Amino acid sequence: MRQKPGVPMIVHGGRIWTGDEANPAAEAFFVEGGVFRAVGGLNDVEARARASCGHKIDVIDAGGALVMPGISDAHIHLTAYCKNQLYTDLSAVSSIDELLGALKSHIEEHPEFHWVRAFGYNETLWPKPIQPTMDMIDSIANGRAVIVSRYCGHAHVAGRIAMEESGLWNSRDANVVRGPDGLPTGVLNEEAPGPILSLVEREHETRERIKSLAVKGCGMLASMGVTAVHACDAPLYGLPEDISIFQDMRDSGDLPIRVITYADRLPGMSFRSGLGDRFVQYAGLKIFLDGSLGARTAALRADFSDAPGNKGQLNHSDEELFDLMYAAFSRDIQVQIHMIGDAATDQAIRVAKRVYERLGGRPRRPPRFNHVIVSPPEQLDDLVSLGVVIDIQPIQTYTDRFMAPSRLGPERMRQTYQFRRFYDSGLIMTGSSDAPMENPNPWRGIWVAVCRTDSDGVPFKYSREDQALALDEALTIYTRNPYRAIGWDGYGVIAEGASADFAILGNNPFEDDAQKLKDVKVRATYLEGVKTYGG
């Protein structure tokens, strides 16, 4: 896709949901110079457009469909999503035999590669949830160095060759799991597989290949109505971001979305959040406090219900976390913090209080608490007092519908995925996918946020239906709120003077059964008035 300069246009003939509380609906809008110049009644918009441009104006009839601000994915591993087609995708397998069969076929079809990676399996959805083992992998490896990654990205299994050639066989890292005999089992949790993943990337990932895949991947996101993403860097988890790739795409006219990036380490130079431009920008520091429910590495106050004696793990001490947060905030660098278990959120709260005290008040850019899946009611007052942003991934409620109840039990499940409670608290709450761990289609997430049901309409077991959002609220967390989270004014809304980022759908979800939200199709997407998707 090569972007061409946008021409002045009038859009009308559909339901225009503006996302602007002061003017929530409009009959039409006029775009010129990449900005909404007039929003309101059709006659007034046409008169203002003609006064500005005469008759050189495109007129677009939405045909009764919904027109809305462009969607932002407020938490995605963008490069990893784009490059997934380089590796074996196991998301569709439904048994350990299918997993091993797919992996064996890939190994046989690609004799040119020594390092082999497969990703995306989710054993909790299988009839028999059997995890792969090192012995299983070795039985089909055929002399290759192999690693298999669970869909959550927090648990992996490697073959013996990969363990030895990467140096992990002799590693004393606690996340390199060892058996009763003291030997490595091949199971690697959290950041432990980093050395293997680096070797995989060295063999498979050239800059030219990654840019080509990034062009395709970003184009796919644009086709879903996405105009911006918050891309999160985590190289030791196999999720690195290369900001320069997206800068190259911008220079060549191939970037259809804005890319706001968070890195897992502080920059070596003394710049702050905001370095870059309105298309590719550095936003802040990403910190992982714990792991995932599926891998049983999320940090919980009490044991996992299906693993007595295991409360998961915290990745940092309070002092380490304090040093990271203070170093960032004292440089005016925003912090996004991964936390899934209630013990991880407890740690983030108590350390943030100490950081605020040292700073003498709140930081200019609020910390972003990402996931916050298990959150007892008593945490809410502290979250509000700290003024944090809550970054949720509604699609995880669907993906975890079988696994989470077994990990947490029915009582703790009542404290999970609290969309309504967070939304009503007044905190800024954003919506996102966490792709490639989850489906990046925002309409799947919007559907879950509104319906909180399985695909057949049956409510999730143990799920609280009173935590669902109304459609306009769900749209808000995917449009306006991601920009509020990073302090950008004039984005994420259809309002005069705002950036003309918008999508025209193929239907009007406000008039359809809410269960159809997961199937919404986008007719056209525009970034600053330039069409990035659509005929």
Compute the distance between CA of residue 381 and CA of residue 130 in angstroms, rounded to an integer. Answer: 41
Buried-state track 225-239, b at ≥16 Cβ within 10 A, e below 16: bbbbbbbbbbbbbbb
320 part of a folded domain: yes
DSSP H helical ranges for 205-241: 207-222
Answer yes or no: do 334 and 475 share one domain. Answer: yes
**For the residues 219-236, what does the mean pLDDT come to?**
95
Answer yes or no: do 169 and 301 share one domain. Answer: no
Q: What was the pLDDT predicted at 6?
A: 72
Question: pLDDT tens-digit profile of 265-291?
Answer: 999 888 889 899 999 999 999 999 999
Q: Which domain holds residue 294?
A: 72-78+206-491
Answer yes or no: do 362 and 500 share one domain. Answer: no
CA distances from 444 to 20, 397, 422, 440 (A): 23, 11, 20, 8
Answer yes or no: do 109 and 171 share one domain. Answer: yes
Compute the distance between CA of residue 414 and CA of residue 422 in angstroms, rounded to an integer. Answer: 14
Q: Among 305, 218, 236, which residue's Cα sits nearest to residue 3? A: 218
Mean per-residue pLDDT over the chain, rounded: 94
In 10 A of CB 329, how many CB atoms?
24
Identify the weakest region by mean pLDDT among 128-137, 150-159, 178-187, 523-532. 150-159
199 part of a folded domain: no
Question: pLDDT tens-digit profile of 231-249?
Answer: 999 887 878 898 999 999 9
The strand ranges marked E within 304-350 are 334-339
- Tally of structural domains, the chain: 3
Compute the distance between CA of residue 76 and CA of residue 445 in angstroms, rounded to an integer. Answer: 13
Phi-psi category of residue 361: left, alpha or beta, with phi > 0 → left and psi -120 to 50 → alpha = left
Confirm if 448 and 398 have CB atoms less than 8 A apart.
yes
Answer yes or no: do 375 and 469 share one domain. Answer: yes
Question: pLDDT tens-digit profile of 7-65?
Answer: 899 999 999 999 999 999 999 999 999 999 999 999 999 999 999 987 789 999 999 99
Beta bridge partners of residue 276, listed in sequence order: 281
Does residue 181 surpass a pLDDT of 90? Answer: yes
Q: What are phi and psi of 150, to 5 degrees?
A: -70, 155
Compute the distance between CA of residue 64 and CA of residue 501 in angstroms, rounded to an integer. Answer: 19
Answer yes or no: do 131 and 227 share one domain. Answer: no
Look-up of token digits 């469909």: 65
CATH of the domain at 253: 3.20.20.140
Global pTM reads 0.90
Question: pLDDT tens-digit profile of 504-522?
Answer: 999 999 999 999 999 999 9
166 part of a folded domain: yes
The band of 2, judged by pLDDT with boundaries at 50, 70 and 90, is very low
The band of 4, judged by pLDDT with boundaries at 50, 70 and 90, is low
358 part of a folded domain: yes
Rg (CA), the chain: 23
Pairing of β 258-263 and β 226-232: parallel
Answer yes or no: do 435 and 318 share one domain. Answer: yes
Q: What was the pLDDT predicted at 1?
A: 45
- Which residue type sits at 323? D
Tokens of 55: 């008759």
CATH of the domain at 62: 2.30.40.10
Question: pLDDT tens-digit profile of 454-492?
Answer: 989 988 877 777 899 999 999 999 999 999 999 999 999
The band of 5, judged by pLDDT with boundaries at 50, 70 and 90, is low
DSSP H helical ranges for 26-143: 42-53, 78-83, 96-109, 134-140
Tokens of 140: 């089909």
403 part of a folded domain: yes
**For the residues 433-457, what does the mean pLDDT come to?**
94
Answer yes or no: do 246 and 182 share one domain. Answer: no
Answer yes or no: do 338 and 272 share one domain. Answer: yes
Answer yes or no: do 36 and 142 share one domain. Answer: no
**For the residues 162-191, what does the mean pLDDT come to?**
94
194 part of a folded domain: no
484 part of a folded domain: yes
Question: pLDDT tens-digit profile of 344-356?
Answer: 999 999 999 999 9
Compute the distance between CA of residue 156 and CA of residue 193 in angstroms, rounded to an integer. Answer: 7
Answer yes or no: do 370 and 221 share one domain. Answer: yes
Q: What was the pLDDT predicted at 410?
A: 92
Compute the distance between CA of residue 294 and CA of residue 279 in angstroms, rounded to an integer. Answer: 35
**For the residues 67-81, what does the mean pLDDT come to?**
96
Compute the distance between CA of residue 72 and CA of residue 257 in angstroms, rounded to an integer. Answer: 9
Question: pLDDT tens-digit profile of 295-333?
Answer: 899 999 999 999 999 999 999 999 999 999 999 999 999
Question: pLDDT tens-digit profile of 371-401?
Answer: 999 999 999 999 999 999 999 999 999 999 9
Confirm if 231 and 77 have CB atoms less than 8 A apart.
yes
Answer yes or no: do 1 and 34 share one domain. Answer: yes
523 part of a folded domain: yes
Name the DSSP class of 237.
Answer: G
Q: Is the dihedral angle over the CA atoms 271, 277, 278, 281 positive or is it negative?
A: negative
CA distances from 511 to 112, 178, 242 (A): 53, 56, 41
